[in-house]
Structure 1
Amino acid sequence: MPSTTTLAPSLEEEVPPRVADFYRQSLRALRDAGIPFLVGGAFSLACYTGIRRVTKDLDLFILREDFERIAQLMQQHGWRTELTYPHWLAKVYDGDAFIDLIFNSGNGVTPVDARWFHGNCRADVLGVPVLVANVEDSLLSKAFIMERERYDGGDIAHLLLARADRLDWASLLERFGPHWRVLLTHLTLFGYIYPGERHRIPDWVMARLIDRLTDEMHGPPAPSQRQVCAGTLLSREQYLHDVEQAGYVDVRLTPASGMTERDVAVWTRDIDHAPAAPRDPAAPTDDREQPHVGGSHGR
């Protein structure tokens, strides 16, 4: 699929001037250095859906092998970097403003690889020409975010509403692979949320997924699936009882995920157990493609 150009709001109004300048300089530094990256988060959502919302960070998808080079480049500009979670996320700081460098998902199942950098849309973000993460990869990265305090199903529904007729559905099915039930869940909910738009999901996609579901219903689970809890791929907190007390195997510690025991331990340790303050309904919504320290986990 060739690259195309998509119209994108500048988002100047959604980002404070000092922070916008930090983002702008960072994007230019990466571009001038020839380091591949893709813009995600609130910026890419605005490009594809027109939905604009306040964001406190800039999400960039990168290859893991490029992090050390990026860190050196950012430090040369006087910004601080940290490898926050070695299995999926790093950060660049300019004071209290920051950029997320994302090279996997919080559950370790969707590493950024060369496939992410094919056929990307081009856009101007804060006046800088950039490549934007494809809708298929945006869907993949958001599909697993199902924490109590963070659920990205609404973003997925809006992406489908805006772009379903232009998706590479065969690629999307292949990318979800053994996690096809997660995709089926979101597609089913789309038909519930927008009953008049169900036709946007190709019949053959739903038929193929339902056939897989029917096949599973008529057969026993594979031996490797018995006593496994895959809920930890959707929420790092809500299924801890199952893996810590009820005797279920944490699927993150199987070949289904790239996480190590240390990754899981650190990721669990940093769960923010503090009660959330009541949200002012008049306050602007904060968008974070991938959660930060103390937040919920991503894709």
Structure 2
Amino acid sequence: MNADETDNVPMTAKAVPQLIDPNTELFVAEVIDKLVESQIPFLVAGTHAVSAYTGISRATKDFDIFCKAGDYPRILSYFQSRGYAVEVKDERWLGKIFKGPHFFDVIFASSNGTMPVGDEWFEASRQITMCGHLIRIIGPTELVWSKCFVQLRHRYDGADIAHVILKAHDEINWRNLLGYLETNWEVLLIQLLNFRWIYPSERDKVPDWLMDELLDRLKAQRDLPLPQVKICRGRMYSDVDFEIDVKEWGFADVGGDGELSSKEEKPE
């Protein structure tokens, strides 16, 4: 298949996750029934998508769906009207829906604001059969993108990215992936270098033109003067882990003003 084309042909999932609590399987099946019944567009993501593309079946208690921001309140309202408890965890990106001890996440963006779910996510999605329904899972390109910034002290998704590239590289739309990470291209370069280091015999899974493009950007960047404002973009990975940089060390957060770098001449 041409990786630059959308594949809407139903695929067979290579594996399904092992849900920690057997009762969760019944809950997930019920949720899928309700989501299909609602006719509100959604995408299955997270561990279920990783398993579908890689064949890795691992224990999980999570079930994640992605949707567009406009559909997020509709999904929460739909389940609330049917007796489920809902929680608006963070209105910038995340809600949760509960039934007893079980829950699933409704995600419409990333916590750092770099990854809004849009129409292109659905255009690039894949179809699989799950719980007796033909449903859509997040495409491999967007799956990689959704995990690029998950680098916290207690959670790191780099292994998922490496495995998806290894097993689904021919399905990734590399030009779209570069476009998604255009302003954060160094994050993409980091992930690709990580993949090359992990799998030296599989380096050809990443297109040469993409590595050339990213390394050319790096070369051009090295010839430029250092930024005048001290910035800590580590906050896009984790607010907590890089809190001291903003509160005590004078670095700017992702947005807002920061101190001028001591390496640059300060204006009078």
Normalising by structure 2, report the TM-score: 0.89
Note closer, same or farther for the CA distance 1:99–1:252 as it changes in structure 2 (3 Å cut): farther
Measured in 1, the distance between the counterparts of 2:216 and 2:80 equals: 52
Q: 2:63 aligns with which of 48, 58, 62?
A: 58
Whether 1:126 aligns to 2:131 is: yes
Q: Greater Rg, structure 1 or structure 2? A: 2
Give, in angstroms, the shift of residue 212 of structure 1.
Answer: 0.5
1:192 is aligned to 2:204: no
Indicate the residue corresponding to 2:91 in structure 1.
86
The aligned residue for residue 46 of structure 2 is 41
Residue 246 of structure 2 corresponds to residue 231 of structure 1: no
User: Are positions 1:249 and 2:246 aligned together?
Assistant: no
Deviation, structure 1 residue 221: 4.2
Give the C-alpha shift of residue 78 in structure 1: 1.4
Are the counterparts in 2 of residues 10 and 125 from structure 1 also a CA contact under 8 Å?
no
Shift of 1:232: 0.4
- Give 1:151's aligned amino acid: Y
1:116 to 113, 121, 138: 121
1:270 is matched with none
Cα gap change, 1:111/1:90 in structure 2, threshold over 3 Å: closer, same or farther?
same
Q: Is this contact kept in 2: 1:107–1:252, CA < 8 A? A: no
CA contact 1:229–1:250 (8 Å) conserved in 2: yes
Look up the match of 1:267. none
- Paired positions, count: 252
**Aligned residues of 2:17 and 2:57 also touching (Cα < 8 A):** no
User: In structure 2, how many angstroms separate the alpha carbons of the residues matched to 1:12 and 1:149?
Assistant: 21
Q: Aligned letter for 1:230? A: R
Once the 2 structures are TM-superposed, how far is the Cα of residue 9 of structure 1 from its aligned partner? 5.7
Quote how far apart the aligned CAs of 1:14 are.
Answer: 2.9
Change in 2 beyond 3 A, CA 1:161/1:2: closer
Instruction: For 1:1-299, list aligned pairs within 5 A.
Output: 1-8=6-13, 11=16, 14=19, 16-221=21-226, 226-252=229-255
Question: Higher relative contact order at CA 8 Å, sep ≥6: structure 1 or structure 2?
Answer: 1
Task: For 1:157 and 1:7, locate their aligned partners in 2 and report how far apart those are by CA, in whole Å.
Answer: 21
Partners of 1:46 and 1:12 lie apart in 2 by 6
Q: Using the alignment, how far apart are the partners of 1:62 and 1:24 within structure 2?
A: 18
Tell me the alpha carbon deviations over residues 93-140 of structure 1, each in whole angstroms, 9 at most, x when there is no partner.
011110000011111211111111113111122333210001111111
* 1:12, distance to aligned residue in structure 2 (A): 7.8
Output one character per residue of 1:15-38: Cα deviation in whole Å (capped at 9) or x when no partner.
Answer: 544322222222222222210100
Q: 2:46 is matched by which residue type in structure 1?
A: G
Task: Assess, with a 3 A threshold, how the Cα gap between structure 1 residues 252 and 20 changes in structure 2: closer, same or farther.
Answer: farther
Q: What percent identity do the matched residue pairs reach?
A: 35
Whole-Å separation in 2 of the counterparts to 1:234 and 1:13 = 28
Q: Secondary structure at the match of 1:130?
A: strand
Partner amino acid for 1:243?
A: V
Amino acid at match of 1:240: E
Residues 27 and 221 of structure 1: is their aligned pair in 2 closer, same or farther, counting only changes over 3 Å? Answer: farther
What is the CA RMSD across the aligned residues, in angstroms? 1.7
Structure-2 separation of matches of 1:22 and 1:243: 42
CA 1:4/1:253 → structure 2, altered by over 3 Å: closer, same or farther? farther
1:248 offset after TM fit, Å?
A: 0.8
Whether the 8 Å contact between 1:10 and 1:124 is mirrored in structure 2 is: no
Distance 2:249 2:81 in 1: 49
Structure 2: which 5+ runs fail to align? 1-5, 258-268
2:254 maps to amino acid: V
Aligned residue type for 2:218: L
What is the TM-score of this pair, normalised by structure 1? 0.80
The 3-state SS of whatever aligns with 1:64 is coil
